[in-house]
Structure 1
């Protein structure tokens, strides 16, 4: 028996299943309290602050991305709007625990309705709620074993970041969750820890506790009661892969020396160390929206300048490609409300469209970027998200030039931009293809809906055709910063199609470096042509791999 999901952190893990069940019950509806309202309010505020403090302390202890993730959760507990809602319910006689539950329910509905990145943060919100209710009612929170006789496979409906950061690779062999997606905090932390992980695995929590499973975090599969031979073969391939990755070093290039700079996708200065440790030659996607999330007002120009400069200083000999604020749709900001109610936010005012609607926010970010680059040897490149037309591209390039930014480009995420790349090339300095959104808009398939994952497969031939159209023969360098770049086979195909640089999550860099080093540019071109000649994603992948024999030899 095999349970399938979405692989979000590559690697092989096997061991007995430990099923995590959340058991903090919902406080009874209509629950009231004895005593004064002010005392009950103080009780609720103290519980929220205790939870916020504990989350921050865990984040500081864990460091890295965990610090940022748990810091964002602490902000949820300290949200002024939440406190106002809790106080109002208590004034009407509702007990503190029930008031907290109902106030969080309002926020939960908003996140679920938003979907996308924010929708995947529901688990974070639920965890803060449950921790607060547990404090108020004197219940222990269910946790995960931090010591075990052998590494176990942790299975859960979803997994809270606060629990994830306590785990170690020598204790947890793999994560499997029924919910979540590639951008959920569980996925982000699993990748940072280097632990194999599969999310969106329906039915996983029905696995019998203690049953042995084999998890493939690359393929997204969970094999129940594997044979000794299956485990041995998986581990053999994994060891070959690890040796290949350890041997891969230096700048990205093909076997015959064709250079392919390998860059990292980051969300801020806290991600720099992991990028450097993985051999990143620069940054191909700096997601600046993470500076703006969970705030009631925009970060100051000085705050932004310092965050950008820290990354530029870390790569004095490489380039840092910064994406300007990508707000709207699945990343709404409290201080940048959409101009109108949108029936379909993904097709509404987001990305550059939202940026243009708030010129003060735009001007502050571009000036902060220009200030950050002053006197720095690293090369700053600034690109706009969600560009559809030449007019939009030309406007953005002009605004960048006005602020003293020397290199401006655009994201290719909309089919119209890919199809008219030659026209766009006349007004900007570079392109970067966001394969996640490009697939979403090409196939009319929400990138966060697990049931449509087949249409999000970057091996879809139609998507490969659009990438080829974007690369074109216009002479403007074109990189890829979507998740497609993290697949060693697809990385070879992209290079064969003429893609100049590849950017990905830091842990994926060694595998891509090894895959490219094992093949010549001619092999990559042949593989690309073979893939584009197929009619299904599966056929495209198989056809490409048939011309990339080094991948199997490397265990990739």
Structure 2
């Protein structure tokens, strides 16, 4: 038995034989074209149009986040700047195949150099180029293999067009050697609840037909597993399936301590499904969807309509809305389009909103109006709060607009360390573990190259969370968790032990976390949390918590 490590997406475990993705098409020759430039240009335009329409059709069939991704790819294929670059190469006497290959490669290199979110879009550009070249050659585009039986798909990275329409009766799990936690493969794997491990560089050594175990919760691919390991993985998968089908109950510990389980949502349209999956409310509603595709800020009326649609789905329940969190990987031309050398440390979150305060005031106006028109329990929080003064500013402004419950996101170590002062002012705090981990470990959470540092199990992160939990208890204020850490079943127990009073996550993770919490009392959770805090690193904290959890179960039985 040996292990290949990467970044786990989701919480499941699966096993099966490997089937590798076919290799990319070979690079076209740089030989001159035998056709006139205008004929080559016509060939390329026809091929690009066919590929764009095919991507749009796949998106319409897949729906959800996949549709957005594939429509973005179709727009990428028909980008006027790329078209001009291709045609300039054709005008020099090159073939359409080589012109597409070279122009797209040039753009891909530019995206890769930018890093972060844009860097991870380079793989999407490669896929578009491959599809156009395949059409020009009259051959099938490289795609998902079909060995005739269920399999674990192993690839360098998976194109959105392939991920969107995977046959989930055949594909047991995904393993990629490249890509990070924000790649489109990861995004779509989360949405479809596919067991996946991405960025597992050593997976390039896996061969067709060998049996592996893919453990997304641990971020590990086990090769040459023993019969005992295969049985254990099978039992885990069965237990997870049983938990997912269990009757929905409010989140709680074994001793009855309530721990509300809430949903992270990015659009109002996801609310109904979240309720079906057992969400007791919303712990993080991201409002960026209204702003990111716009050239100017949406009107108060447009915002009010969207917020009202959301709130109406949760009558009488808590809905936590985050004010616009722009900057870093989400620049907006009308808010903060100035170039910054390090935008993650620049004008983002509440800082950007204060610099364009009219946008914040309009958003608070729309939220207050939606609140008045519905029966939900609206809470509003500011993103990227780093000082006590920022807390005072936002809570005072929110109350001026009639927001009854105003809080802050704790994503920066300074606000965690000053949580006693912050929570003396704010009505609540919500810990964004993704950014808190990024800033604590100085590792960009959008870069696959430092993904190993982006682990909320690190004791430094856990100690900061404990600071906030303790401050919440002293001030009598609720402390929620809305980062991806809340979706880890064992880490969810640790977070409650550190003082979290609610957990918010992707709706597909609710069943796993609900089942995990029911196995431990509050005292157990505190013991397990203390064990994790004694470790020196993330792996040690995870192992210590697992050992403590086992001891608590044995003691209870």
The answer as to 2:195 corresponding to 1:196 is yes
Give the C-alpha shift of residue 90 in structure 1. Answer: 5.4
- The aligned residue for residue 331 of structure 1 is 330
- The aligned residue for residue 536 of structure 1 is 537
- Taking the aligned partners of 2:41 and 2:166, their CA distance within structure 1 comes to 34
- Taking the aligned partners of 1:53 and 1:302, their CA distance within structure 2 comes to 34
- Taking the aligned partners of 2:179 and 2:335, their CA distance within structure 1 comes to 26
- The aligned residue for residue 127 of structure 2 is 127
Distance verdict in 2 for CA 1:101–1:329, change over 3 Å: farther
- The aligned residue for residue 520 of structure 2 is 519
- The aligned residue for residue 483 of structure 1 is 484
Matched position secondary structure for 1:279: coil
Give yes or no for contact 1:65–1:270 (8 Å, CA) kept in 2.
no
Give yes or no for contact 2:382–2:408 (8 Å, CA) kept in 1.
yes
- Taking the aligned partners of 1:74 and 1:391, their CA distance within structure 2 comes to 45
- The aligned residue for residue 315 of structure 1 is 314
Give yes or no for contact 1:244–1:514 (8 Å, CA) kept in 2.
yes
Q: Which moved more, 1:409-418 or 1:11-20?
A: 11-20
Distance verdict in 2 for CA 1:400–1:30, change over 3 Å: farther
Give yes or no for contact 1:412–1:434 (8 Å, CA) kept in 2.
yes
Distance verdict in 2 for CA 1:92–1:294, change over 3 Å: farther
Give yes or no for contact 2:181–2:448 (8 Å, CA) kept in 1.
no
Give the alignment's TM-score, normalised by structure 2: 0.89
Q: Which moved more, 1:192-201 or 1:111-120?
A: 111-120
Give yes or no for contact 1:112–1:119 (8 Å, CA) kept in 2.
yes
- Taking the aligned partners of 1:382 and 1:208, their CA distance within structure 2 comes to 50
Give the alignment's TM-score, normalised by structure 1: 0.89
Q: Which moved more, 1:373-382 or 1:157-166?
A: 373-382
- Taking the aligned partners of 2:200 and 2:380, their CA distance within structure 1 comes to 37
Give the C-alpha shift of residue 358 in structure 1. Answer: 3.5
- Measured on the aligned residues, the alpha-carbon RMSD in Å equals 2.9
Give yes or no for contact 1:515–1:550 (8 Å, CA) kept in 2.
no
- The aligned residue for residue 377 of structure 2 is 379
- Taking the aligned partners of 2:307 and 2:129, their CA distance within structure 1 comes to 34
Matched position secondary structure for 2:149: coil
- Taking the aligned partners of 1:236 and 1:344, their CA distance within structure 2 comes to 46
Give the C-alpha shift of residue 535 in structure 1. Answer: 3.4
Distance verdict in 2 for CA 1:230–1:534, change over 3 Å: closer
- The aligned residue for residue 48 of structure 2 is 48
- The aligned residue for residue 69 of structure 2 is 69
- The aligned residue for residue 467 of structure 2 is 469
Stretches of structure 2 that go unaligned for 5 or more consecutive residues are none
- Taking the aligned partners of 2:30 and 2:48, their CA distance within structure 1 comes to 20
- Taking the aligned partners of 1:133 and 1:294, their CA distance within structure 2 comes to 30
Give yes or no for contact 1:12–1:216 (8 Å, CA) kept in 2.
yes
The answer as to 2:114 corresponding to 1:111 is no
Give the C-alpha shift of residue 106 in structure 1. Answer: 4.9
- Taking the aligned partners of 1:193 and 1:455, their CA distance within structure 2 comes to 26
Give the C-alpha shift of residue 432 in structure 1. Answer: 0.8
- The aligned residue for residue 165 of structure 1 is 164
Give yes or no for contact 2:407–2:427 (8 Å, CA) kept in 1.
yes
Give the C-alpha shift of residue 27 in structure 1. Answer: 4.2
- Taking the aligned partners of 1:551 and 1:80, their CA distance within structure 2 comes to 62
- The aligned residue for residue 217 of structure 1 is 216
Distance verdict in 2 for CA 1:58–1:454, change over 3 Å: closer
Give yes or no for contact 1:19–1:154 (8 Å, CA) kept in 2.
yes
Q: Which moved more, 1:291-300 or 1:462-471?
A: 291-300
- Taking the aligned partners of 1:552 and 1:263, their CA distance within structure 2 comes to 26
| Deviation per residue, 1:40-81 (Å, 9 max, x gap) | 655544433332322222122122232232233233234444
| Deviation per residue, 1:246-284 (Å, 9 max, x gap) | 336211111122111111112213433442232111221
Matched position secondary structure for 1:538: helix
Give yes or no for contact 2:33–2:93 (8 Å, CA) kept in 1.
yes
Distance verdict in 2 for CA 1:148–1:36, change over 3 Å: closer
- Taking the aligned partners of 1:31 and 1:214, their CA distance within structure 2 comes to 49
Give the C-alpha shift of residue 360 in structure 1. Answer: 4.7
- The aligned residue for residue 434 of structure 1 is 432
The answer as to 2:492 corresponding to 1:494 is no
Give yes or no for contact 1:19–1:205 (8 Å, CA) kept in 2.
no
- Taking the aligned partners of 1:77 and 1:306, their CA distance within structure 2 comes to 33
Give the C-alpha shift of residue 542 in structure 1. Answer: 3.4
Q: How does 1:100-499 map to 2 (within 5 A)?
A: 100-145=100-145, 148-247=147-246, 249-293=248-292, 296-299=295-298, 301-333=300-332, 336-339=335-338, 341-450=339-448, 452-471=450-469, 472=471, 473-499=474-500
Give the C-alpha shift of residue 166 in structure 1. Answer: 1.6
Give yes or no for contact 1:75–1:294 (8 Å, CA) kept in 2.
no
| Deviation per residue, 1:112-158 (Å, 9 max, x gap) | 2343333322222322232233334433201114x553210100000
| Deviation per residue, 1:72-107 (Å, 9 max, x gap) | 323323444444555565566665544444543454
Give the C-alpha shift of residue 197 in structure 1. Answer: 0.7
Distance verdict in 2 for CA 1:2–1:81, change over 3 Å: same
Give the C-alpha shift of residue 427 in structure 1. Answer: 3.4
- Taking the aligned partners of 1:260 and 1:419, their CA distance within structure 2 comes to 24
| Deviation per residue, 1:299-356 (Å, 9 max, x gap) | 55554444333322222232222223322223334555543x4332222222222333
Give yes or no for contact 1:15–1:150 (8 Å, CA) kept in 2.
no
Give yes or no for contact 1:515–1:551 (8 Å, CA) kept in 2.
no
Give the C-alpha shift of residue 21 in structure 1. Answer: 3.0
Give the C-alpha shift of residue 392 in structure 1. Answer: 2.1
Distance verdict in 2 for CA 1:98–1:319, change over 3 Å: farther
Stretches of structure 1 that go unaligned for 5 or more consecutive residues are none
Distance verdict in 2 for CA 1:550–1:314, change over 3 Å: farther
